[in-house]
């Protein structure tokens, strides 16, 4: 019974976090429109969900983020939307598969990386605020580096054409995006994940009773029945 209750709580918690991801993805706060690409804050609830609920939840939330990205880039395309939507592929089915990897696969990695990094930092007994800040920063950088790195590796030619530059200039432009957009996003993620995550970590024990206490209660109930 306790396991079922825990599973229900976990599922409901993931669903609530997914709703936040969807909400952010459909508001200006979640997807900030820039001239060439959409900067995002949607990865923040993905990271927080991975910290609170584990890598699997992080992967699910990252997948939701990715699907929202596909929809957004399909419905309101930018110059780089061919790299995020299989429906706007300029190189057929292969391009569509590459776009799905960038839009969804890279976003799943955010949750997986953040979840396992948080577990590792807890094992080395790092103070929660520092661990949350590191996880937030790293999770955001996973998003930026994985997405922009994949664009460089998979769509360099199309990227050069979209920007109207030589192919040799693509690497510099990608690194410029990582520096100019990715680092500020990561710093913001570190601050927000620390502030929100610490508050939620303190609230979690009240929402999800300690396993040992549940076990003691169960044993007491069995003895009274006996």
Mean pLDDT of the chain: 87
Which residue bears the tokens 């609170």?
A: 52
* Rounded CA separation 181/106 (Å): 17
Q: Which residue has the higher pLDDT, 185 or 107?
A: 107
What residues does each domain of the chain span?
A: 2-206
For the stretch 136-164, pLDDT in tens is: 999 999 999 999 999 999 999 999 999 99
> Is the Cα dihedral 37, 17, 56, 88 positive or negative?
negative
Q: What is the pLDDT of residue 142?
A: 97
Query: Residue 117: what pLDDT?
Result: 98
pLDDT category, 58, cuts 50, 70, 90?
Answer: very high
What confidence score (pLDDT) does residue 223 get?
45
Q: Which two tokens stand for residue 170?
A: 């693509």
Fold annotation for 2-206: Arp2/3 complex 21 kDa subunit ARPC3 (1.10.1760)
| Mean pLDDT within 196-225 | 59
Give the model confidence (pLDDT) of 78-112 as tens digits.
889 999 999 999 889 999 999 999 999 999 999 99
Q: What is the pLDDT of residue 210?
A: 47
Residue range 186-202: mean pLDDT, rounded: 92
Q: What is the rounded average pLDDT of the residues 1-13?
A: 79
What pLDDT does residue 30 have? 78
């Amino acid at each position: 019974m306790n396991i079922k209750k825990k599973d229900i709580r976990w599922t409901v918690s993931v669903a609530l976090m997914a709703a936040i991801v969807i909400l952010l993805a459909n508001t200006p706060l979640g997807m900030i429109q820039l001239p060439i690409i959409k900067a995002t804050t949607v990865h923040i609830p993905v990271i927080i969900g991975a910290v609170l609920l584990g890598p699997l939840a992080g992967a699910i939330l990252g997948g939701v983020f990715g699907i929202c990205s596909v929809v957004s880039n399909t419905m309101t395309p930018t110059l780089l939307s061919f790299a995020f939507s299989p429906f706007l592929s300029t190189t057929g089915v292969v391009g569509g598969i590459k776009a799905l990897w960038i839009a969804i696969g890279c976003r799943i990695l955010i949750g997986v990386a953040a979840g396992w990094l948080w577990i590792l930092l807890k094992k080395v007994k790092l103070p929660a605020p520092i661990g949350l800040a590191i996880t937030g920063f790293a999770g955001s950088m996973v998003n930026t580096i994985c997405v922009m790195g994949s664009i460089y590796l998979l769509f360099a030619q199309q990227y050069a054409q979209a920007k109207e530059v030589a192919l040799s200039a693509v690497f510099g432009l990608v690194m410029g995006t990582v520096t100019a957009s990715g680092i500020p996003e990561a710093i913001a993620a570190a601050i927000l994940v620390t502030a929100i995550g610490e508050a939620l970590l303190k609230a979690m024990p009240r929402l999800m009773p300690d396993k040992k206490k549940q076990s003691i209660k169960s044993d007491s109930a069995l003895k009274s029945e006996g």
